[in-house]
Amino acid sequence: MPTRLRFFLLATICSLLLAAVGYEALDRWQRATIFSIELGEGRWWREPPSRTEIFDINLAGNGTVRAWYLAHADPKAPTVLYLHGSRWNLNGSVFRIERWLEMGFSVLAIDYRGFGESSPLLPSQASATEDAIAALHELEQRQPDPSRRYVYGHSLGGAIAVSMAAHTTHPAFAGLILESTFTNIQDMIPTTGYSAIPGLHRLVTQPFDSVGSINQVRSPILFLHGTNDQIVPHTMSDLLFGAARNRTDTIQQLVKIPGASHSGVSRSGSSYEKAIMNFVGLTSSSTNDAARYQAHR
């Protein structure tokens, strides 16, 4: 082999190896940054509510997902799959879980692998989506009536819920409830301290592109967002709602909670419960077309 050709091939191989190493490092940094797992205890950290059933969902050799199940006193109560956001595990979500119980739901909540007592792993969009799909199958066992099953995601949990629902050809639940959720990671970059990194938006390895995939979701959707959200601009729910309107023959609603923060929507009193129970009423029974597309600000 000519020396010049040998050098070219060697240089090409080295370049590809460096690119692969660089991509892997970039991917790991993005995953760590997006999920931002906190190992300590926040001031809102709490033990599971009393009578919580704690168990693991096995992922066929790929580890386990820690789950909590809280059954409502009414056996006919609807059941919600709770998907939390970044940073905090289930212990940091007890105040929201209890809010769902107060509203009359049974709750199945999970920690993605890498969080809490689930298998140790640096999470990714793919792994968290897989965890949510496994939890959806568990929801089907816990609540046999599809018209009484709901999926709720807060912030990053909403993006995971959309990713899961977009992979579900025939919805196994009555509705998707997205609270304080963003459009995609690329759109979130300008809102963070990483906005000054040149070309970062072209190097996203974990897109969480909800605005691009939400039209694949076949179930009804309720969007909830506080107008004082300093983490995820509430206009992102407008964009998600607009993208979802390309779907046909399904219910969707957008409800803005005046003055509510990123984490404070569920604490906004009767307006929050009214929005959810109205959505449940529409999706658990037949409705006329006039009620299928609504936006409240």
pLDDT digits (tens, 9 = 90+) for 72-120: 999 889 999 999 999 999 999 999 999 999 999 999 999 999 999 999 9
HSE (side-chain half, CA atoms, 13 Å) at 10: 7
pLDDT band of 239, cuts 50, 70, 90? very high
In a domain, 13, yes or no: no
What does the pLDDT read at residue 23? 75
Which tokens go with 24? Answer: 């892997």
CATH number at residue 217: 3.40.50.1820
Beta strand 106-110 with 79-83 is parallel
So what's the pLDDT on residue 17?
34
Does residue 40 belong to any structural domain of this protein? yes
The pLDDT, as a whole number, for residue 3 is: 55
Interhelix angle for 125-142 vs 156-166, to 10°? 70
3-state secondary structure of 66: strand
Q: Is residue 29 part of a domain?
A: no
pLDDT at 14 over 60: no
Per residue in 159-216, pLDDT (tens digit) is: 999 999 998 767 689 999 999 999 999 999 999 888 788 888 789 999 999 999 999 9
Q: Look up residue 117 and give its DSSP letter.
A: T
- Residue 22: predicted pLDDT: 65
Residue 133: what pLDDT?
A: 96
Flag whether 15 is in a domain: no
Confidence at residue 43, expressed as pLDDT on a 0 to 100 scale: 66
- Mean pLDDT, the chain, as a whole number? 87
Is there a domain that residue 146 lies in? yes
Residue 245 domain-assigned (yes or no): yes
Q: Is residue 106 within 8 Å of 77, Cβ to Cβ?
A: yes
Question: At 6, is the pLDDT very low, low, confident or very high (cuts 50, 70, 90)?
Answer: very low
Residue 7 domain-assigned (yes or no): no
Other Cβ atoms less than 10 A from the Cβ of 49: the count is 13
Structure tokens, 86: 């970044």
CA angle 217, 123, 206 (to 5 degrees): 55
Has residue 272 been placed in a domain? Answer: yes
Residue 123: which of 115, 108, 200 has the closest Cα?
115
Read off the pTM: 0.89
Average pLDDT over residues 21-34: 86
Tens of pLDDT, residue by residue over 240-296, are 999 998 887 789 999 999 999 999 999 888 999 999 999 999 998 644 343 444 444
State how many domains the chain has: 1
Work out the percent of the chain whose per-residue pLDDT is above 90.
73
pLDDT value, residue 16: 34
pLDDT of res. 42: 65
Question: What pLDDT does 20 receive?
Answer: 45
Those residues whose C-beta lies under 8 Å from the C-beta of residue 279, and which sit 6 or more positions away, are 175, 177, 220, 222, 251, 253
Is residue 66 within 8 Å of residue 111, measured between CB atoms?
A: yes
Greater model confidence, 288 or 237: 237
Instruction: Give the structural domain span for 85.
Output: 36-296
Task: Give the whole-angstrom CA distance, residue 226 versus residue 179.
Answer: 9
